[in-house]
A and B are shown apart, each in its own frame.
Chain A
């Protein structure tokens, strides 16, 4: 049995992506995760349709990706009777998760001090956008907005380019991951001291931690200019020729290479004039142009064979269509099929192998309130 958290009950009040991604990982590990959703609409993510795509029955693909392997308990949190049921459920739970703005859980009497009185052993985890105090604390914790504030969009831009956001929900995923780490550490501690704990994460702190290596450089080198690209040590001028290049018929990525080794290659001799000088930073533009010109002259396949011969790490750049067709992808067994409301939904699996096995579960995302009756009966609510 590779279920690491078997027997752990999680009540997840969170919506959208950050908190639910934490719940998803705990579910992957074998915890029983019950989404507590408000009646009527439920998790807002249920209505978040992307790229005009919906599943059979008109449901959001994102919602299904992040809420597989969970149950749904739908309730009106403003109703006294319903609140009483939730408190009874909390008395039995091991973990509570929420990502409401600061103050919301307090208003309904479900903040940590209140829940502690019901269940002192509970591990209570919350995600905010910017922490619980100060001028930003009441603002919505939304991924792009946190990227904007955290400095990440300047550091993701090359040279003096306009800020470039990451096209993936990095703030949500990192905050969810850090919350899971904190919750798990406290669950382990509880096995030894029988005490509950309060775990707090903010998306801003999570994004600062994500940047910690380059941020530490910046903090300790007052004179380094963030915009000039010399702080971000990835693919900055010093790392040339690493990066992605257009070839005659596609794109190629190279890594851990040196300019000198590239200049030795067939068709790259024009680079030789640039590699001897100590004045590399000033020649960056010229080098980039020479590299672009050299790579565009041959096909991706031709370059892969030349570079591999020269022991340069390289690969062709894939889109999803090309990725899914490749042998390597099939070996990873990255996909699984889950059943949601009788419909088969194809999605991805947890990325970690435990005891030589992938963690898969056929349980799909729940319909709103799908498990109300069963949970009422089981917990005598």
Chain B
């Protein structure tokens, strides 16, 4: 591919948390030039006073989240550096930040200020301490999950509310930001207008639950997790992950009589399709007991013959041995300073058959300051 789609777009990334860092990484993988603007230690303290903890924990995480970006270091207390930053803002098309309002204003990076320097800029705020005033719910993935109701979708009915063990609100907020940033760049290109985008972890999680919330608005009944092998509170039996005699198997939606052509259970035969939701726990218990009696490959053979929606449950170790995984060509190696390297995973978007593997390592702090000054600051 001669040019990646975001070739020529300059993004200034003022991010310290996972969500914004994910957004910057995706934009870089799609071809944008992503410049991390970092503050010198003196000012870093000044900025981080209200931030409880930075997300970056070790070198590998740093590399994973900042691969293919550049680093520009400024000290906002030094007049010359502030001029540099302003010039960089004039040259950029996108700003992403995760400061809260006071910090943003202290730094002179609010949309109104930035717009004066660059009227077509796409200014993106991933709010932390909540523009809405809902401080806790917006500051952290676990708290956003706890507030959003999503803790009542995973786990069984008898479990306490359960946190999804991935930073789902952070990841998805960063990915939502990418969509809207590019859409705003399209409008900027057509109409010469900049944009102010605002996102939060909590709104992202509520949108993610749109099917649950819309159903709740109309049923007025809280979604109830299945008591046995819950996989989706709104769906009827057999939907779930079950144990076999030697592993686990996932069964998606299908009519009970079809399922029973494979399971051959007299007990299951007593239930009608109309009862698949209202009596799902009883039905799922029967299915679970039956599946335990044979190994996964035995059941898979039966399900495959009827083209039913079933797959074995794999760990990463199992998955990496499968041809289906190898064909995806997900992994690639990134070379770092001093002959060190690590295995990264590529961008999941394939364009014109071209798989995107940006193998530029994460920058050292300030690595590109001098080059950027000479390029942009004449």
- The reply to whether A217 and B60 form a contact with Cβ atoms under 8 Å apart is yes
Contacts of B277 in A (CB 8 A): 51-52
Chain A 337-353 per-residue mask, 1 if CB under 8 angstroms from chain B, else 0? 00000000111111111
Q: How large is the interface on A (under 10, 10 to 19, 20 to 34, 35 or more residues)?
A: 35 or more
Chain B 238-254 per-residue mask, 1 if CB under 8 angstroms from chain A, else 0? 01110100001111110
Contacts of B148 in A (CB 8 A): 318, 323
Question: How many whole Å from B172's CB to the nearest CB in chain A?
Answer: 7
- The reply to whether A206 and B315 form a contact with Cβ atoms under 8 Å apart is no
Contacts of B139 in A (CB 8 A): 313
B42 sits at the interface (CB 8 A): no
Q: Is the interface of A mostly helix, strand, loop or mixed?
A: mixed
Q: A151-B314, A184-B186, A235-B165 are in contact. Are A177 and B179 (CB under 8 A)?
A: yes
Chain A 125-152 per-residue mask, 1 if CB under 8 angstroms from chain B, else 0? 0000011011111011011111111111
**Within B182-237, which residues are at the interface with A (CB < 8 Å)?**
182-187, 189-190, 195-200, 202-204, 206-219, 221-225, 230-235
Contacts of A180 in B (CB 8 A): 179
- The reply to whether B164 and A352 form a contact with Cβ atoms under 8 Å apart is no
Contacts of A233 in B (CB 8 A): 57
- The reply to whether A182 and B232 form a contact with Cβ atoms under 8 Å apart is no
B309 sits at the interface (CB 8 A): yes
Question: How many whole Å from B57's CB to the nearest CB in chain A?
Answer: 8
Give the tally of cross-chain contacts (CB within 8 A): 419
**Within B296-350, which residues are at the interface with A (CB < 8 Å)?**
309-319, 322-325, 327-328, 330-331, 342-345, 347-350
Q: How far is the CA of A347 from the CA of B210 in the complex (A)?
A: 7
Q: A212-B64, A316-B146, A331-B133 are in contact. Are A4 and B187 (CB under 8 A)?
A: yes
Q: How far is the CA of A210 from the CA of B174 in the complex (A)?
A: 11
- The reply to whether A348 and B349 form a contact with Cβ atoms under 8 Å apart is no
Question: How many whole Å from B318's CB to the nearest CB in chain A?
Answer: 8
Chain A 305-339 per-residue mask, 1 if CB under 8 angstroms from chain B, else 0? 00000000111111111010000100110110000
Q: How far is the CA of A164 from the CA of B159 in the complex (A)?
A: 12
Question: How many whole Å from B201's CB to the nearest CB in chain A?
Answer: 10
A187 sits at the interface (CB 8 A): yes
- The reply to whether A315 and B210 form a contact with Cβ atoms under 8 Å apart is no
B134 sits at the interface (CB 8 A): yes
Q: A162-B248, A226-B316 are in contact. Are A348 and B210 (CB under 8 A)?
A: yes
Q: Among A32-40, A78-86, A251-259, A275-283, which stretch is in contact with chain B?
A: A251-259
Q: How far is the CA of A204 from the CA of B327 in the complex (A)?
A: 12
Question: How many whole Å from A278's CB to the nearest CB in chain B?
Answer: 19
Contacts of A50 in B (CB 8 A): 211, 215, 234-235
Q: How far is the CA of A220 from the CA of B341 in the complex (A)?
A: 10
- The reply to whether B211 and A169 form a contact with Cβ atoms under 8 Å apart is yes
Q: How large is the interface on B (under 10, 10 to 19, 20 to 34, 35 or more residues)?
A: 35 or more
Question: How many whole Å from B105's CB to the nearest CB in chain A?
Answer: 16
- The reply to whether A61 and B218 form a contact with Cβ atoms under 8 Å apart is yes
Question: How many whole Å from B204's CB to the nearest CB in chain A?
Answer: 5
- The reply to whether B189 and A188 form a contact with Cβ atoms under 8 Å apart is yes
Q: A167-B155, A173-B172, A355-B195 are in contact. Are A29 and B180 (CB under 8 A)?
A: yes
- The reply to whether A66 and B211 form a contact with Cβ atoms under 8 Å apart is yes
- The reply to whether B214 and A348 form a contact with Cβ atoms under 8 Å apart is yes
A65 sits at the interface (CB 8 A): yes
- The reply to whether B146 and A51 form a contact with Cβ atoms under 8 Å apart is no
- The reply to whether B207 and A350 form a contact with Cβ atoms under 8 Å apart is yes
- The chain B residue with its CB closest to the CB of A308 is B136
Q: How far is the CA of A54 from the CA of B58 in the complex (A)?
A: 49
Q: How far is the CA of A233 from the CA of B318 in the complex (A)?
A: 21
Pull 26 A–B residue pairs with CB atoms less than 8 Å apart, ordered by A.
Answer: A5-B186, A50-B234, A61-B218, A62-B234, A133-B327, A137-B324, A144-B232, A144-B250, A144-B252, A148-B313, A153-B248, A154-B315, A156-B166, A157-B165, A164-B162, A164-B241, A216-B345, A218-B316, A220-B60, A234-B167, A251-B146, A315-B147, A319-B149, A348-B207, A352-B199, A355-B196
Q: Which B residues are closer than 8 A to A by beta carbons?
A: 3, 5-7, 18, 26, 30-31, 52-53, 57, 60-61, 64-65, 132-134, 136-137, 139-143, 145-155, 160-168, 171-172, 175-180, 182-187, 189-190, 195-200, 202-204, 206-219, 221-225, 230-235, 239-241, 243, 248-253, 277-278, 309-319, 322-325, 327-328, 330-331, 342-345, 347-353
Ranked nearest first, the 7 interchain pairs of A and B with the lowest CB-CB distance are A167-B153, A253-B146, A328-B134, A148-B250, A50-B234, A65-B214, A185-B5
